[in-house]
Amino acid sequence: MPGLIGKKLGMTQIFTEDGRAVGCTVLEVGPCPVVQIKTSTTDGYEAVQLGFGAQRERRVTKPEAGHAARAGLDHAPRVLAEFELDEGQEYEAGQSLTVDLFEVGQRVKITGVTKGRGFQGTVKRHNFGGSRASHGGSSVLRKPGSIGPGTDPSRVIKGRKMSGQMGGTQRTAPNRRIEMIDAEKNLMLVRGSVPGSRHNVVLIRSV
């Protein structure tokens, strides 16, 4: 099973049969049309290219429109993503894949882009403790302290944890358990958190 493209809608909680509350992330998964089949003879590898959503017609370029038309689609997808194919899996261009590919209780890994936090200091970005607040230390509460040796090597070593841009990077949440699937509404509830803010695009793959 290759995987599907989805969108993060938010979080909620559900109750299990034994009465425990479980925090879940709600995902809108699919339907994802098969846009292109990659083969080892033509592309050098085996993969399937899926689409998700629909672009506004006035924003679609001619190459995008032609690429979608070759798959028999009446609209250009807003998002395209490739998934590796396992042996024995066969799909056809124009075929629509839905959330029914997954099952309740199955483990999946979900990839998304984390929330952008902008330029942040070391306390927030790397969880530094900061200096003590007593005895005139008010000017160094959130400063990083010494960042490198003096005479030798007289420079800051690469990889030092310092201030900088935080968030906005691709991360994968592994081993998330599927708690509920609503095939009619294309919804999937997975236990725990998922990278990104609401309405961010995510990729769901089986573990």
Averages of pLDDT over runs of 10 residues in the chain (207 residues) are 92 92 95 93 92 94 95 94 85 92 95 96 93 80 87 90 95 96 96 95 94
36: containing domain: 31-97
CB 177 within 8 A of CB 121: no
How confident is the model at residue 31, as a pLDDT? 94
179 plus 110 within the same structural domain: yes
pTM of the predicted model as reported, rounded to 2 decimal places? 0.86
Query: Do both 78 and 90 map to the same domain?
Result: yes
The pLDDT of residue 88 is 72
Q: Whole-angstrom Cα distance, residue 38 to residue 71? A: 13
Q: Are residues 199 and 104 in the same domain?
A: yes
Strand partners, 25: 11, 190
At residue 151, the pLDDT reads: 85
Asked if residue 141 and residue 63 are part of one domain, the reply reads no
* Burial class, 6, CB count within 10 angstroms (exposed 0-12 / middle 13-18 / buried 19+): buried
How many structural domains is the chain composed of?
A: 3
- CATH number for the domain that contains residue 205: 2.40.30.10
What pLDDT was estimated at residue 149? 84
